[in-house]
């Protein structure tokens, strides 16, 4: 830690006067973060409809071939919503959304919000068993399927038992006056599910707002966002309209303070809360434009911001890492981006990124799709996620087990300023915990009797450094999950897939730090079944299996073959020793392999390859 990362009175005094002109929005934002009236209509649909009235011609949603005003976007969403209503979708019904990043995804989500239906944001990188695992967690009545993702659905068609119908969305822009097209009778002919093309669903439907958007309240679910949480296995986090309003206030009104002339561009997946909830709520709060990139390209990113005339970007730490790894070029400083909002920008890269790309304002934030606590970098300070309006604590934990340490009275111990500990947040009326769809999973992340008998606190599973003045710095994730390429990787999920393969006897999966990369790369340590050599042919076969059953980001980047996995006295596998060993062939005497993306196989990890990984010249 750099000593200058600690927050001082001098920094606060220097930054505070800048907030005076924005005091009205700040007060409004603070009020919204503390909403607790369960009878007051709130939510995404209501706020979008207000924006459509107050700024009807302002640009709301942009894509490669799409440019929609707030008025037009709301009208299209209304037509979809009435169509869904006519097909039997009601408030509280679950609608699975399986579409890539494009404007139509936002329009469908907005339509569901107008009804009060729950959008289950399915990870588009998941296929087969991992896709079905998330679908079964929420049992959607209807699936909204993008044309670009037909094949993964065909592969699991016989398991789609909860789904009554599919809304098919062609890979083309939607318009208010849409013409009806017809899907071939042979399309998905083996699925005993009714299929509706979206243009047919919208045909002759009203453009006016629905009364139902005024009958949605704080505790009504808006999204299901999938996460691995602290225990490692996938869960559906409940994201209510009330939580969305807190982001609308905390990020949109209190922090970013965009104007109606701004455009925020992001390539982050819409099945993640950062893009869908944080970035979009900030945009709607300012009634400005939200530009959606289909997928991230480090070489084209700044050109794309120019195409959309973007003045702001959404980010995660890995995106920043990839942009910095690009060769310097003129476009680095010829864009119009003035601020960025996101999470995961490491302190080591913070100043490098701001300096190279000439961005003055970094609104780093902290939040979790399954949590109740948020941090906002209101003062635009470096190397911090900002402050939190929540009642939180950063507590001391056991270095090995990461369990909270209790004092002689049986209560938790807060760390000192500058120290690292576990972030916990009090569960209260103002800041309730929505948790997961499975209540038993929610109970697992609740800590009781933390500072007084009977209190209840959320265990975030995240290590933070206390910087003073209610500010913090994100350090790392603990538990049986880790982040790689902006995605949460469940070690347990990867282990369960690996252990199904005939080559494998025993296996553990964990994350390892790789040079300056954000997050951790997955590493698999395993013992082989009898008579398995793990030769070149075996490795190709094994990688093909992993690519079939896991999303690309979850495929282990390193493999260690050992003769025996170490265990505790209670026969639990120990991962800490293997994590500490890392993947250096000069340290580890076991066989080591690297997932080489260019050769598309697991290659023996030589000292030369290790040096290429460490220098960043070899992409993982």
Parts of the chain belonging to CATH 3.40.50.12780:
3-366
Residue environment code for 277-306, b if the CB has 16+ CB neighbours within 10 A, otherwise e: bbbbbbbbbbbbbbbbbeebeeeebbebbe
Q: What is the pLDDT of residues 20-69, one digit of tens each?
A: 888 888 888 889 888 889 999 999 999 999 999 999 999 999 999 999 99
Q: What is the pLDDT of residue 186?
A: 41
Would you call 112 helix, strand, or coil by DSSP? helix
Its sign, for the CA torsion 450, 452, 457, 460, is: negative
Question: Residue ranges of the alpha helices (H) in 490-592?
Answer: 491-498, 536-549, 576-581
Task: Judge whether 396 and 404 are in contact, CB under 8 Å.
Answer: yes
Q: Tell me which of 126-135, 273-282, 458-467, 514-523 is least confident.
A: 514-523
Q: What is the pLDDT of residues 509-535, one digit of tens each?
A: 999 989 877 788 999 999 998 889 999
Tell me the pTM.
0.84
Q: How far apart are alpha carbons 44 and 356 in whole angstroms?
A: 36
Q: How many CB atoms lie within 10 A of CB 183?
A: 14
pLDDT surpassing 50 at residue 294 = yes
Q: Give me the chain's average pLDDT, please.
A: 90
Annotation: CATH topology of 3-366: Rossmann fold (3.40.50)
Burial class (CB in 10 A: 0-12, 13-18, 19+), 467: buried
Q: What is the pLDDT of residue 570?
A: 40
Q: What is the pLDDT of residue 189?
A: 57
Q: How far apart are alpha carbons 292 and 272 in whole angstroms?
A: 13
Q: What is the pLDDT of residues 378-416, one digit of tens each?
A: 899 999 999 998 899 999 998 767 789 999 999 999 999
Q: What is the pLDDT of residue 217?
A: 97
Closest CA to 204 of 83, 88, 107: 83
Q: What is the pLDDT of residue 188?
A: 57
- Could you say which DSSP state residue 403 is in? P
Q: How far apart are alpha carbons 511 and 480 in whole angstroms?
A: 9
User: What CATH number labels 482-615?
Assistant: 3.30.300.30
Parts of the chain belonging to CATH 3.30.300.30:
482-615
Chain-centroid distance of CA 334 in Å reads: 29
């Amino acid at each position: 830690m750099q000593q200058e990362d600690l927050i001082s009175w001098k920094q606060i005094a220097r930054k505070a006067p800048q907030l005076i002109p924005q005091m009205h929005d700040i007060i409004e934002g603070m009020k919204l973060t503390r909403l607790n009236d369960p009878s007051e209509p709130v939510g995404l649909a209501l706020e979008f409809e207000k924006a459509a009235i107050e700024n009807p011609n302002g640009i709301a949603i942009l894509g490669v071939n799409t440019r929609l005003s707030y008025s037009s976007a709301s009208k299209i969403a209304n037509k979809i919503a009435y169509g869904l209503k006519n097909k039997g979708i009601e408030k509280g019904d679950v609608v699975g959304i399986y579409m890539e990043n494009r404007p139509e995804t936002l329009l469908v989500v907005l339509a569901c919000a107008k009804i009060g239906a729950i959008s289950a944001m399915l990870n588009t990188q998941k296929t087969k068993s991992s896709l079905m695992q998330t679908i079964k967690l929420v049992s959607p009545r209807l699936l909204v399927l993008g044309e670009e993702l037909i094949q993964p659905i065909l592969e699991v068609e016989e398991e789609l038992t909860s789904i009554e119908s599919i809304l098919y969305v062609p890979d083309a822009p939607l318009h208010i006056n849409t013409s009806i097209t017809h899907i071939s009778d042979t399309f998905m002919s083996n699925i005993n599910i009714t299929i509706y093309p979206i243009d047919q669903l919208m045909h002759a439907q009203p453009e006016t707002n629905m009364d139902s958007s005024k009958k949605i309240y704080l505790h009504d679910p808006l999204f299901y966002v999938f996460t691995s949480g602290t225990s490692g296995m996938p869960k559906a986090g409940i994201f209510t309209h009330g939580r969305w309003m807190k982001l609308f206030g905390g990020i949109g009104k209190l922090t970013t303070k965009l104007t109606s002339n701004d455009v925020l561009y992001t390539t982050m997946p819409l099945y993640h809360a950062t893009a869908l909830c944080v970035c979009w709520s900030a945009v709607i709060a300012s009634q400005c434009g939200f530009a959606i990139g289909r997928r991230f390209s480090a070489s084209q990113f700044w050109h794309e911001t120019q195409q959309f005339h973007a003045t702001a970007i959404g980010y995660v730490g890995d995106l920043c890492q990839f942009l910095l790894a690009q060769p310097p070029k003129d476009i680095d400083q010829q864009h119009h981006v003035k601020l960025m909002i996101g999470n995961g920008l490491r302190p080591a890269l913070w100043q490098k990124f701001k300096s190279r790309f000439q961005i003055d304002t970094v609104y780093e934030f902290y939040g979790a799709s399954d949590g109740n606590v948020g941090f906002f970098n209101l003062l635009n300070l470096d190397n911090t996620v900002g402050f939190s309006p929540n009642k939180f604590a950063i507590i001391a934990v056991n270095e090995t087990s990461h369990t909270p340490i209790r004092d002689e009275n049986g209560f938790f111990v807060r760390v000192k300023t500058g120290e690292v500990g576990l972030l916990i947040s009090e569960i209260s009326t103002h800041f309730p915990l929505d948790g997961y769809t499975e209540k038993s999973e929610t109970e697992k992340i609740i800590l009781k009797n933390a500072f007084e008998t009977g209190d209840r606190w959320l265990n975030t599973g995240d290590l933070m450094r206390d910087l003073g003045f209610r500010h913090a710095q994100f350090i790392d994730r603990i538990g049986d999950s880790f982040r790689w390429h902006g995605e949460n990787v469940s070690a347990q999920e990867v282990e369960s897939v690996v252990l199904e393969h005939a080559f494998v006897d025993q296996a553990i999966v964990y994350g390892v730090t790789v040079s300056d990369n954000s997050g951790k790369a997955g590493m698999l340590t395993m013992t082989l079944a009898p008579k398995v050599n793990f030769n070149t042919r075996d490795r190709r076969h094994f990688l093909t299996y992993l690519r079939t059953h896991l999303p690309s980001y979850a495929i282990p980047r390193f493999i260690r073959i050992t003769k025996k996995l170490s265990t505790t006295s209670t026969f639990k596998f120990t991962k800490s020793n293997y994590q500490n060993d890392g993947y250096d062939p000069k340290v580890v005497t076991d066989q080591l392999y690297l997932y080489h993306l260019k050769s598309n196989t697991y290659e023996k990890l030589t000292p030369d390859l290790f040096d290429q990984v460490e220098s960043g010249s070899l992409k993982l």
